[in-house]
Amino acid sequence: MPSPRRNAEVRALGALGVSASSSSSPSSPAHGGGGGGRFEFQSLLSSRAPGGEPPAGARLRVSDSPVHRRGSFPLAGAAPAQAPPPPLPEEGRLDLNPSFLAIALRSLLAIDLWLSKKLGVCAGESSSWGSVRPLMKLLEISGHGIPWLLGTLYCLSRSDSWAGREVLMNLLFALLLDLLLVSLLKGLVRRRRPAHNQMDMFVTLSVDKYSFPSGHATRAALVSRFILNHLVLAIPLRVLVVLWAFILGLSRVMLGRHNVTDVACGFFLGYLQYSVVDYCWLSPHNAPVLFVLWSQQ
């Protein structure tokens, strides 16, 4: 049974507009519960500055926030993340698993450079075979393109038979084809001549500063095969033609003009060039205009 004092408190709260149930709840200020937090929050709101900022004691520093310490969200004013380092260029990377073909090519190139330097015994006057250098340079002139072109033109002008003109006309075509293909390949590959070479060659062109392939070797293989197939020669002369082509190619390495692979590929290219000339053989039947014009001259 409620006491007179309890009834007086209820009547006083009713006069203030507060229900009895709320006053008797555990969270009411009368009982010292957690409801006091609402009045504290209202007091904070009522104590705001005129500019709308909360008081200094009511602010929560971002650096003290547990969420910020955990780094669960980026801050608006935080510095941007560092970009990853750029990848290394291709030449700066270490190839840890090269292919078998790459290893074979590098090994072949190393052997080629080493053997070419060992065989360059006539590269200079102070070399081990420097006394033989003038003879090698004379052999170099025998395989040059200009003497062969001028000699073919002279013989063609002096020839008075159709068979001779046909052979000389095709030899002139072969020499021009060789000059064109070698110049084209040298301009595309652009392989430098050996370091021990002396640029004292006979009548050089713009592409003669490059080494691959050897023009003397291609011309030697082309001319020797042409002569052996279209001239009737005795066996000693045929052997001499083959020796001339081989020694001419070897002299290019001994003089330091070319590497071994330049000469080897030159021999192969000259051999193929004759096959092209033989396939496109010029005759009065398939090229009558050329022979008529030359006969009129």
What is the rounded CA–CA span in Å between residue 58 and residue 44? 8
CB atoms within 10 A of CB 261: 20
68 catalytic, yes or no? no
Phi, psi of 192 (to 5 degrees): -70, 155
Q: What is the 3-state secondary structure (H, E, C) of 177-193?
A: HHHHHHHHHHHHHCCEC
**How far is residue 81 from each of residues 6, 65, 78, 84, 147, measured CA to CA in Å?**
66, 21, 9, 9, 73
Task: Determine the 3-state secondary structure of 210 from DSSP.
Answer: strand
Assess contact for 212 and 194: CB atoms under 8 A.
no
Phi, psi of 210 (to 5 degrees): -100, 160
258 catalytic, yes or no? yes
Find the catalytic residue in 144, 196, 258, 285: 258
End-to-end CA distance of the chain: 151
What is the rounded CA–CA span in Å between residue 291 and residue 283? 8
- HSE-up (13 A, CA, CB side) for residue 285: 3
Find the catalytic residue in 31, 144, 196, 216: 216
Q: Which residues are catalytic?
A: 216, 258
